[in-house]
Structure 1
C-alpha cells in the first residue's frame, strides 16, 4: 500500500477514532426547537406558562421561571431542563403526560447545551393565539387589479391571478368545450354528459352558453344527490351496525336523514339553516317531521355501550365539521396548540349532554321496526356534566358540575341558554292526527281480515255439517281417520292463490334481496353464491296469517350442507321460523327451525329424512295455521310440528345456506279452516292423516269469533285512549278528563280480556288437533291460557285509572342496561334550549369559522385541493390558507348571499380559473420551476372519480341507471340494483363491494376522500360484470341511435360517449389499425357479429382509459 493511500485511509477513518462525546454542532432551529414545540410548548408556551417558564424562545429558556433558568449554556449537568426530563420518578419527570423523551432527543438537548445553547438572536416567540387568522372575523378584501383583463371579471379570478402574476406564473389555456362540459357535469351532478348535451353545448355560440349549462345542472334533482354524498362524507353519514338485530351504532331508518340532505340541497336551503336544523330542529321546529329528519346528524353518533364515546364523537366531529377545530385534543388536558381548555371541552359536551334518540312513527305506520323517523330530543334535562380527570370517564370531578358553553376564544359574551317549552304533539306524538289514524286504519284492517276469516270459518263448518250430518257433534279428531293426500278433494274449497310467482321477470317492488347474490332471468330466480352466511330474498307482498306456501326449486350446488327453503314471519327482528331442506350427504333432511330471537333451534321432532338430488326439481310445501306447521316434500307428507312460541306475523323469505339454487315457482294461498292439518306428535304414516271434523271446525270458528272480538276491542281502546290523551293535553285535571281516563282504562282492560279469550280459544283448538305428547303439552298451555283469561276478567271488574297513551314514538335505549320502565317514561315538556342557542351562535356573523370551513370544502371539491389543506383543523397547528384573501372573500360572499351553496357553485364553475386546461403540456418553464404542485392554479387539477361516480357513470352510459330518488337503503347484497350508489346501505360493517375498490367513504372519518390507484381498480373495470355489460350496452346503444355511423364517425361517437371528447389524431390512427385485427380475432372465435364484437372491445378499452376515471 502506498503512503498516499495510507494517509487517505487514516483521514477517512479519523471520525471513527474520535471520542464518542464529540458531535457535530447541533442546529437549534432544526433539531431542538421541534422537540420543545412538540413536548414543552403546551405548558411553557404562549398559551400557558407553568411556573412562569416559557420555552418558545431560547432567550426565554435562559431567563427561566420560578425555579431559575431552564439551562446554563455549556453546563448540561447543571441545567434544570436536563434534570427534569431525565428524572426517574414519573411524578416529577417532564413532560408530565405521554411517553418520556427518547434517549436520542435527550442526547441532542444535552449536546446543544454543552455546545453553548446557541440560538438565533432574532428568534421570535409564538404569536398571541388570539391573533391567529382563523379566529378573526372574515372581512371582504378589496379586489386587486390584474394585468390581464380576462381575469378581472370574476373576483375569484382576480384574487387568483394577482398571486399568480406576483410569482411570474403563466396560466394554461382554457379547456376545450368537450372537456369543460364533462368536468362541470360530473362536478355538479356526478354523472357524465350525454352525447346530445355535449353536441348542444359545443355548437352553442351564444354569450351565455356556459351559464345555461350551469343553470341546467344546478336545477337538476341529481345535484342534490351528487353534493349530498359530499356532505354525507363530511357529516359521517352511516346506516346502523351492531350484532345481529341489535343496533349498537347509528340507527335504523337513517335514509330519512340522507333524503333530507338531498332535498335541502336541491331546494338551496341555506347552509346556516341546514346546520341549525341538524343541531336543533327538535327545539326550533318541534312538530315539523320534515325538518326533524335533520337531527339524524346527532342520531348517527349513537353508541349503545358507552355514553362517553357517544358524546366524544359528537363534540369531536361537530367541532371538526362545522368549526374546523380539533376540540377532541382538549379532552384529557388543555389543547397543546390552540386556546381550547379541557374545561371548555366539557362545557361544549354539556351542550349535548341532555339529548337522546327516539323513533317517531310516520303516517301509515304503527311499528317503528318497519319504518320510523330517528330523531334527537332532550331527555335527561338534569343530567350533569363533569370534567373527566385525564379524560378518564371512570374518574369524573363531581365537585364542579360544568355549565354549557363554547370556547372563550370564539365568543364575545357568554351564550344565554333558555329552556324551550314544547307543544303537546312533540311531548306526546300519539296526539298527532296522522298517527292516531294509522292506528285506526290498522285496527279496521284487522277487523276486516277477521270478519273474512270468520265468514270462511262459518262456511267451512256449514259444509262439514252438510257433508256429514250423521256424525256425532262431539266426535273426536281421530288419528285413525283416512289419509288425505295433496290432491284430496277436501282441498277443493281452498281459496285462490294470493300469489303465483314464476320469476318470468324482475319485480323489484315485490322482491327485496337481503343478502347473497341473486338474479332473475329466464323464469328463474337464481342464487349463485354458496355462502357460509344465509342468502335471503324477501317477499314484499302481504302474507295470509294462516297460509300454504308451495315452493318449486332446483338445488344446483354447495359445499357441505346445501340447504334451501323458506322462512315465514320474517321481519326486521330476528324472530321467524325457517323450514329448509338440507342436501347434506350424511344427514339429508327437511327441518323446521324456529328462531325466537337470538338463534335457531333444531328440534328433533321438527326433522324428517328426505332424498335430495342436485340439479333436479323439488317441491317444498309448508302449511301453517296458528302455531301448527305441516311440511310436505315432493308430494309426500313429512312432518307436523307445533311451534313452542307465539308467532310474530311477517313476510316470507326464500333462503339458501351453503347452497346455490334455482327457484322456479312460489305459490301462496290462505289456509282455510276446512283444510285440516295433521296434528303434531304423530308419525307421518298413511294412517295418521286427519280429515276436517265438526269439532275442529267449531273450534276454528270460536278462534275466529274471539279474534274478531279482540280486533273490535282494540279499535275501541284506541279511540278511548286518544280521547283521554286529548283531554289531558287540553283540559288537565277536570272531572271530564278524569272520566275519559277511567273510560280508557276500562277499554284497555276489555281489550286485554278479549286477547286472553283468543289465546284460550287457540289453545283449545290446539288440544283438539294434537295427539300424543304434543296433546299433553297443548293441554298444559290451555290451562295456562284459561288462568290468564280468568285474571284478565277479574281485572276488568276494577280497571283503575291508569291507561296506556297512544304510542307515537319509542325512545331508543340509552345503554344496554336501561330498563323498559326508563324507556317508557313520558317525554319532557321542555327542552334545554342548549343546542338551539349553540346552533344560532354557530351560524351567526360572530363565529369566524363556520363559513370559512364550508367554502373550503366547496372549493376543494371543484378545484381538486382545498385552500386550507387541513380541512378539519383551522387551528394554529393546521395549514395556513394558500389564498387567505380568496378564502375570506368567499366566506363573506357565502354569508351575504344567504349561505347559498348554489350561488357559490355558480361563481366557482363559471370562473376562468375553473375553465383552465388540466394539462401541463407546453406550459411555461417557470410554472414547473416555481410551482410544480400547482398551488397557485396556473392549470386545473385533474381529479380522480370517487367510487359512486365511477359506478353511476357506467350505469348511465349503458342506459341502465335507475333515477328513482330517496327511500330505504338498498342492501349491499342487491348487486342487480341500478339505483344511484349513494342509496346503498353503507355502514362500518357493510360496504358495497364495487364501491369499496374506488376510494369509498369511511363512516368513521372522511373529511376528504383519499385518491388511490391500485391494481384492483383496473381489474374491476376490466373484469367486473358491470363493466363488461356496460361496454356491450354502450355499443348497442350507439348502433341503435346512429345506425349509419361507420368508420371515423363511429369512432368519434364512441370516444365522445365514454370519454366526453373526440379522439386525437394518434388515437384515431391506432384504433383504425386495431379494429380490423379485433374483427379478425372475432371471426376466428366464430363470434356471431365480428364487427360488433370488435367495437365492444374498443369501448371496453375506453372504459379502462385513465381519462374515463379522471375528471380533467
Structure 2
C-alpha cells in the first residue's frame, strides 16, 4: 500500500526527473529546433497562376493554400484597402483628400504611390514608435510614487524621428544599446547617439528599493529580458536562477549577458530618503544656446535668492509663533488665537519653502537626458545563486548565448555592448531577423507566421511556422535590404494577400478555421491610440505636434516639489497644455502608477501596462468597450463636432453631407439603404444640430468604425 510519504517521494522524483529531462532535451535539440537553424536560402515556389501574385510573398501563400485545397478569397474594395493601409502604416484613418487622391489615380502603381506617401509622412514614426515603447516599457515617470522622469520625452522624440528617417534597424539598436560609444560627425549626431541610450536607462525601476545591490540586479534582469523578447523571441530571465529547462539558455549564458549590461549604470548615487538617483547626462550645446542659458541663470538666481530669503523670514516667524504658543496657557482665548497664528505661520512658511524648492528643481541647465554611464574598467558578472545578488557564485566571462550564431570574443577593455549588437544582427544569428519579420507580419495580418509572436524557443510544444520558407525568405530579404523597416512594410502591404477581403468562404472556413493560411484578411480591432487619434482627426481636433515635454512640470499644479525627505512627485491631477491635449496619443503622458488614466479611451481599450514588456497587445472584447463608445463624454463630444462640421457645409444638400460623413468615418461610400435610414432618422429628430450629432456619434460607436476589415 502506498503511504503518504511514499506518494510524496514518487511525485518529487518524477518532478525532478521531468525538469532534468527538459534540460537535457533543450541541450540536445538546440541544434535541431527549427528556430536555431541557419536562415535558409529560399527558392521562389513555382505556381500555376503567375498573374495572381502581386509580390513574391503571394507565391508562398498561394502554393500553401492550393496544397490544402483552398482557393484565395476575392480582393477587397479600394476603399477598404486604403482604410486598412492608412491605419496600419500611420495609425490614422484616411482623410477625404487622401481617399479622393487614391481613387482618382488611374496609374497601375496607384497602391504603391499611396504606400510611399504614407511611409514618408511624419505620422508613420508616431505610429510605429508606440510598438517599440510597448516592448521597452517607456513611461514619463519612474517608480510607484509617480516621480517624474523629466527628460524621457527626448528619447521618445528620438525614436519617432529615427523611424521617420528610415534608419536601418541594426543602426537603430546600436545607437540605443551603445550610442555613447559611437563616433559622431556632428553635434546633432552626438546628441542623437547619447539620447538613444535611454533604451537602457528608462524602465520600471523601483528607486525606493533599500537593497541597492538587488535593485541593480533587478534592473539588469529587466534589460536582459527586454533584449531577449524584442530581438530573440526568448524568455532569458528564466536562467537568472537556474539553467533554462526547455530552451538552450544556461545560467552562464544569462550572466555572460549580465556582465555586459552590468558595466553601465542607469542609477547614480543616493537621493532623498535613500532613493536611488537616475543617471542624467547633458547634451552638447551651441554657443548661442549657452549664452541664452547663462542669461536665464542670472535671472533665476535672483528669483531663487528672493524666494529663499522670504522662506527664511517666514520660517523664523513660524518658530516664533511656536514658542509663543508653547508659553500660552491652554484653554484660554489667547491660546486659541496663538494656535491660529501658528497654523497660519506654518502654512505660509510651507508655501514659501515649496516656492524656492520649485525654483531649485527648475534651474536652467543644458539639455539633459536619461542615459547610461560606463564603468571605467569593465569586469565580468558572477552567478547569483538562486537569483540573489548577495549569494555569489562563479565569475562568468562576458559573452552571448552559446549555440546561437557564431562564437565571438569580447576584448578585455570593452564592456561588450557593441559586440552584443554585432552578435544580434549577425547573419549567423537566425533569430533576430525571423523574430522581427514575424512580429511585423502579425501586426499587419492579425497573427504571426509563428505563434506566439514573442516566443521562438522550444517550450513544451514546438511552435513551428505555418510558412517556414516564407519566414526565411522575409528574414533574408530584411537582412539584405539593410534592415529596412520601411522596405519590409512596403513589400507586405503591396502583396495580394494583404489586399484580400475579410469575407469568409465556407470551404476555407472548414479546412482552415483559424485562417492560418490566409485565404482572407483577418478583421482586427483598432488599437486604443487609433481610436482616440482617429476620432480626433475626423472631428478636426487633432493637431500636429513636434514633440516636447508631455507634462507641464513648470506649473505648480503639476508637480509637488518635495522636501528634505520626499522627492518631487506628480500631483494626482494635472492639466495638459492645449498643444499636448490635442496631439496624438504617442505624445500623451504615460504614468507608471496609474497608467493611462489621463486619457479614458487609452485605458479602456487595452493600452499596455508600461511596467510590463508587451510584444503583443491584449485584444479583449468587453461590454465596457460598447458602453464607452455609447456613453463616454469623449465620443459624444466628437460626435457633436462631426455633426456640426457636416451641417456647416452650406454648399451641399443632405445626400452629399451624408455621403461625406460616411466617407469620413467609415472610409467608404454610403449605401442606398443606409441613406434612406439616415434620412428617416434626421427627419424624425426636430433639432437638426442634435440629429446630426447623434447620427455621427452612432457611426463612431459602430463595429465598422472599430475594426479594420
Question: Do they superpose with TM above 0.5?
Answer: yes
- In the alignment, structure 1 residue 275 sits paired with structure 2 residue 173: yes
1:1043 CA drift (Å): 2.0
- In the alignment, structure 1 residue 140 sits paired with structure 2 residue 134: no
- In the alignment, structure 1 residue 988 sits paired with structure 2 residue 570: no
Distance 1:368 1:332, change over 3 A: farther
Q: Deviation per CA, 1:633-668, whole angstroms, max 9, x where unpaired?
A: xxxxxxxxxxxxxxxxxxxxxxxxxxxxxxxxxxxx
Q: Deviation per CA, 1:594-617, whole angstroms, max 9, x where unpaired?
A: xxxxxxxxxxxxxxxxxxxxxxxx
CA distance in 2, matches of 1:973, 1:1016: 29
1:98 CA drift (Å): 11
1 or 2, which has the higher helix percentage?
2
Instruction: Work out which of the two has the higher radius of gyration on C-alpha atoms and give 1 or 2.
Output: 1
1:1017 CA drift (Å): 2.2
Equivalent residue runs for 1:54-133 within 5 Å: 128-133=29-34
> Counterpart in 2 of 1:910?
494
CA distance in 2, matches of 1:975, 1:898: 37
Equivalent residue runs for 1:52-451 within 5 Å: 128-242=29-143, 244=145, 251-285=149-183, 288-301=190-203, 306-357=215-266, 358-361=280-283, 363=285, 367=363, 372-379=368-375, 381=377, 384-397=380-393, 400-419=394-413
Distance 1:126 1:386, change over 3 A: closer
1:99 CA drift (Å): 7.6
> Counterpart in 2 of 1:1105?
702
Task: Give the counterpart of 1:850 among 432, 440, 444.
Answer: 432
1:163 CA drift (Å): 0.5
Instruction: Check whether the contact 2:580–2:587 (CA below 8 A) recurs between aligned residues.
Output: no
Equivalent residue runs for 1:912-1061 within 5 Å: 912-920=496-504, 924-970=505-551, 977-993=581-597, 994-1003=601-610, 1004-1040=612-648, 1042-1061=649-668
Q: TM-score if structure 2 supplies the norm length? A: 0.76
Q: Deviation per CA, 1:903-932, whole angstroms, max 9, x where unpaired?
A: 011101111111011122xxx421111111
Distance 1:89 1:326, change over 3 A: farther
Distance 1:303 1:229, change over 3 A: farther
> Counterpart in 2 of 1:697?
none
CA distance in 1, matches of 2:507, 2:242: 47
1:88 CA drift (Å): 8.3
Distance 1:94 1:403, change over 3 A: farther
Instruction: Check whether the contact 1:182–1:1060 (CA below 8 A) recurs between aligned residues.
Output: yes
Q: Deviation per CA, 1:804-863, whole angstroms, max 9, x where unpaired?
A: xxxxxxxxxxxxxxxxxxxxxxxxxxxx33111111121121211111111111111111
1 or 2, which has the higher strand percentage?
1
CA distance in 2, matches of 1:220, 1:975: 20
Distance 1:308 1:285, change over 3 A: same
Q: What SS does the corresponding residue of 1:359 show, helix, strand or coil? A: strand
1:165 CA drift (Å): 0.8
- In the alignment, structure 1 residue 866 sits paired with structure 2 residue 448: yes
Distance 1:173 1:852, change over 3 A: same
1:964 CA drift (Å): 0.8
The runs of 5 or more residues in structure 2 that have no matched partner are 18-24, 204-210, 267-279, 286-360, 552-574
Q: Deviation per CA, 1:696-715, whole angstroms, max 9, x where unpaired?
A: xxxxxxxxxxxxxxxxxxxx
Distance 1:394 1:199, change over 3 A: same
- Number of aligned pairs? 572
> Counterpart in 1 of 2:418?
836
Q: Deviation per CA, 1:333-352, whole angstroms, max 9, x where unpaired?
A: 11111111112111111111
CA distance in 2, matches of 1:309, 1:188: 35
Q: Deviation per CA, 1:756-789, whole angstroms, max 9, x where unpaired?
A: xxxxxxxxxxxxxxxxxxxxxxxxxxxxxxxxxx
CA distance in 2, matches of 1:351, 1:134: 25
Q: Deviation per CA, 1:89-143, whole angstroms, max 9, x where unpaired?
A: 89x9578799889xxxxxxxxxxxxxxxxxxxxxx99973211111122123111
The runs of 5 or more residues in structure 1 that have no matched partner are 1-85, 102-123, 420-831, 1080-1089
Distance 1:1062 1:138, change over 3 A: same
1:264 CA drift (Å): 0.8
Q: Deviation per CA, 1:65-107, whole angstroms, max 9, x where unpaired?
A: xxxxxxxxxxxxxxxxxxxxx99889x9578799889xxxxxx
CA distance in 2, matches of 1:1068, 1:87: 77
CA distance in 2, matches of 1:279, 1:97: 44
Q: Deviation per CA, 1:1059-1085, whole angstroms, max 9, x where unpaired?
A: 111233432332233222223xxxxxx
Q: Deviation per CA, 1:311-352, whole angstroms, max 9, x where unpaired?
A: 111111111111111111222211111111112111111111
Q: What SS does the corresponding residue of 1:386 show, helix, strand or coil? A: strand
Q: Deviation per CA, 1:433-473, whole angstroms, max 9, x where unpaired?
A: xxxxxxxxxxxxxxxxxxxxxxxxxxxxxxxxxxxxxxxxx
Distance 1:911 1:296, change over 3 A: same
Instruction: Check whether the contact 2:91–2:530 (CA below 8 A) recurs between aligned residues.
Output: yes
1:996 CA drift (Å): 0.5
Instruction: Check whether the contact 1:985–1:991 (CA below 8 A) recurs between aligned residues.
Output: no
Instruction: Check whether the contact 1:276–1:843 (CA below 8 A) recurs between aligned residues.
Output: no
Distance 1:381 1:238, change over 3 A: farther
Distance 1:366 1:291, change over 3 A: farther
CA distance in 2, matches of 1:417, 1:862: 41
Instruction: Check whether the contact 1:951–1:981 (CA below 8 A) recurs between aligned residues.
Output: yes
Distance 1:343 1:1026, change over 3 A: same
Q: What SS does the corresponding residue of 2:133 show, helix, strand or coil? A: helix
Instruction: Check whether the contact 1:954–1:1026 (CA below 8 A) recurs between aligned residues.
Output: no
Instruction: Check whether the contact 1:860–1:867 (CA below 8 A) recurs between aligned residues.
Output: yes
> Counterpart in 2 of 1:1078?
685
Q: What SS does the corresponding residue of 1:333 show, helix, strand or coil? A: coil
Q: Deviation per CA, 1:192-249, whole angstroms, max 9, x where unpaired?
A: 11112112212322111111111111110110001111121122222222365757xx
Instruction: Check whether the contact 2:146–2:591 (CA below 8 A) recurs between aligned residues.
Output: no
